[in-house]
Amino acid sequence: MRHFHRYHDLHSDAHGMRRNRHGHGHHEEGHARRPRFFGHGELRLVMLDILTRGASHGYELIKEIEALTGGNYTPSPGVIYPTLDFLQEQQFISLSEEESGRKKIVITEAGTAWLEENSDHLAHIHARVKARIIGHELRKNPEMKRALENLKAVLDLKVNQASIEPTLLKKIVGIIDKAALEISQLD
């Protein structure tokens, strides 16, 4: 069985240090970390779905995922290749080497069956990705950007005080909840 282990898996140790399998690493403290674009195991479904549209290569999968997310997420080879290793170990994909030396990736019958079993979850992933793309675009709108920054500034002034009264905090939370409810009910 051929694997994609050209890239080293990274993991965090108890001290917040990101380390590869050789023990080399760097601290992530102080770096604002964006929320993950896909939840645990979701990238597997997305990759298999892409493979149903034809055989592919790792680089092509990266580009397809980037296109799917409207350019808001580009998985690194360090994410793609371990995921491909997992899919191969589960026998959801098969690999063959082309004359060029590149590995051609094809979804197997087992992969297709697993994808079908998880079709509801995949539909949910696609809906959430579409919503996130719309959200990214909305935040680029100058008026929306100004309004969000205004809200953040006001909250910083009111909430980030040395001591905030519980009643004031409760009022602020109520206003935010009410605004969220009103926005959710707009047509």
DSSP string, 52-70: TTS-B-HHHHHHHHHHHTT
Is the whole-model pTM more than 0.75?
no
- β-sheet bridge partners, residue 12: 18
Is CATH 1.10.10.10 the right assignment for the domain spanning 38-138?
A: yes
154-180 residues labelled b (16+ CB within 10 A) or e (exposed)? eeeeeeeeeeeeeeeeeeeeeeeeeee
| Range(s) of the chain covered by CATH 1.10.10.10 | 38-138
> Would you give per-residue pLDDT tens digits along the chain (187 residues)?
545 544 333 343 443 434 444 444 443 444 444 557 788 889 999 999 999 998 789 999 999 999 998 888 899 999 999 999 999 999 999 998 888 888 899 999 999 999 999 999 999 999 988 888 887 777 777 888 888 888 888 888 887 776 788 888 899 889 988 988 888 888 7
Residues in a beta bridge with 94:
106
